[in-house]
Amino acid sequence: MKNILVVSGSARKNGNTMSMVKIIQEEMERLDTDVAFEYLYLIDQKLDYCIGCSICLRKGGHNCPLKDDKEMILEKMIQADGIIFASPGYAGMVSGMFKNFIDRFMYQDHIPEFVGKPTLIVSTSGGDGVMGAPKYMANCSFYWWGCHVVDIIGIGHAFYTVHHKSKLKYTRRLKAAAKKLLVAAIDKPLSKPNFRQYIYFMFNKTELEISPTVMPYRTDVWREKGWMDMNYYYDTKINPFYIVFTKIAFGLMKLVYKNLLGKDADKALADYVQNN
């Protein structure tokens, strides 16, 4: 059985965004009867606003002082074989509740727990700024969190509704994405990182190499996972151009930090992290 979790930032359970997700569900169930869907509507969850204490970064997400549904949501995402992140586009961005969800899981940028997780991104908007929300979602879940995003879909729902050809085109796209998510949920491929993913991995690693004591919890996790000695979160081939680029860019970062800022930089940074 493959479990697909839908994390929905739409306030309307039968609205445009969910109707697109339903097409994906039907197609996945048509292709494979051994698929189970679970819908996690953020509107039904108790997920308070982030209070900006950064304890998740300093001591781990499980130490977040807000006692709400966050840990339950985290567990569901960890257990899922694939995740569909879905949100309507509001003013060119994700909905407010989806943004709050991202904020609450922001520590995943630096202490990732969904590396390689098959993920599909779906968003609908009226017609303009169609890719604003899905691109933002991809930036979080793909590049920073290290998920394996199979597709990033932004649909102008007005066109979908009124234009026959557009409806056919989007339906085909959704069905193709359903197949990709199914295959990834079964195979769990560890794909080669793209430039941005690699840069974000190396940025995290270089930060910890420069000042391992500033955020000890994060350093411990990276050491435990063996990431400090690896080229990426898992064994994979890295494009040589990426390696050369990051060697130069992050070599300069180390040089500036250690030589120009001096020994006090660690203490100043630790104080800053403590107070921010």
Ligand X SMILES: Cc1cc2nc3c(=O)[nH]c(=O)nc-3n(C[C@H](O)[C@H](O)[C@H](O)COP(=O)(O)O)c2cc1C
Q: How many residues does the chain have?
A: 276
Q: Which of 92, 189, 226, 251 binds ligand X (CB under 6 A)?
A: 92
CB of 243 to ligand X, least distance (A): 40
Decide if 201 contacts 232 (C-beta within 8 A): yes
Nearer residue to ligand X within complex by CB, 10 or 108: 10
Q: Which of 38, 68, 103, 128 binds ligand X (CB under 6 A)?
A: 128
| 15: contact with ligand X by CB under 6 A | yes
| 44: contact with ligand X by CB under 6 A | no
Bridge-based pairing state of the strands 148-156 and 118-125: parallel
Q: Which of 88, 112, 118, 146 binds ligand X (CB under 6 A)?
A: 88
CB of 31 to ligand X, least distance (A): 25
CB of 127 to ligand X, least distance (A): 5
Residues 168 and 271: their CA atoms lie apart, in Å, by: 57
| 90: contact with ligand X by CB under 6 A | yes
| 107: contact with ligand X by CB under 6 A | no
Contact region for ligand X (CB under 6 A) — 16-24, 105-113, 138-146, 201-209?
16-24
Residues 29 and 182: their CA atoms lie apart, in Å, by: 9
Contacts of range 248-254, beta carbons closer than 8 Å, 24 or more positions apart: 250/202, 250/203, 250/206, 253/206, 253/210, 254/206, 254/209, 254/210
| 135: contact with ligand X by CB under 6 A | no
| 126: contact with ligand X by CB under 6 A | yes
Q: What are phi and psi of 172, to 5 degrees?
A: -60, -45
| 43: contact with ligand X by CB under 6 A | no
CB of 248 to ligand X, least distance (A): 40
| 16: contact with ligand X by CB under 6 A | yes
CB of 170 to ligand X, least distance (A): 12
Q: Which residue is at the shortest CB distance from ligand X?
A: 15
Burial class (CB in 10 A: 0-12, 13-18, 19+), 76: middle
Contacts of range 220-225, beta carbons closer than 8 Å, 24 or more positions apart: 221/60, 221/111
Q: Which two tokens stand for residue 201?
A: 């991995």
CB of 38 to ligand X, least distance (A): 18
For residue 105, give Cα distances in angstroms to 63, 70, 146, 243: 12, 8, 13, 29
- Which residues face 90 on adjacent strands? 93
Q: Which two tokens stand for residue 271?
A: 């104080």
| 91: contact with ligand X by CB under 6 A | yes
Nearer residue to ligand X within complex by CB, 129 or 212: 129
CB of 24 to ligand X, least distance (A): 14
Residues 59 and 269: their CA atoms lie apart, in Å, by: 16
Q: Which of 60, 116, 129, 212 binds ligand X (CB under 6 A)?
A: 129
* Range 156-215, binding ligand X (CB under 6 A): 157
Residues of this chain that interact with ligand X (CB under 6 A) are: 10, 12, 15-18, 88-92, 124-129, 157
